[in-house]
Amino acid sequence: MTDITILFEDGEALVIDKPAGLPIERPRAGGRSLEDHLEDLKLGFQRVPVPVHRIDTDTSGCLLLARNPKALKRFNAAFEAREVDKVYLGVVAGTLDQDEGTIELSLAKISSAEKGWRMIPAKKGKPAVTHWRKLAVHDGRTLVEFRPETGRTHQIRVHALAGLGHALLGDPVYGDGRGAPRTMLHALALTVHREGKPPIEARAPLPADFAALGFSDHASGG
* Residue whose C-alpha is closest to residue 191's, from 64, 80, 22, 42: 64
What DSSP assignment string belongs to 121-161? E-TTSB--EEEEEEEEEETTEEEEEEEESS--TTHHHHHII
Backbone phi and psi for residue 218, each to the nearest 5 degrees, phi listed first? -60, -40
- CA dist 77 and 94 (Å) reads 37
Residue 56 annotated in active site: yes
Q: Are 174 and 168 in contact (CB under 8 A)?
A: yes
CA 111 to chain CA centroid, nearest Å: 23
Catalytic choice (17, 56, 171, 209): 56
Question: Which residues are known to be catalytic?
Answer: 56
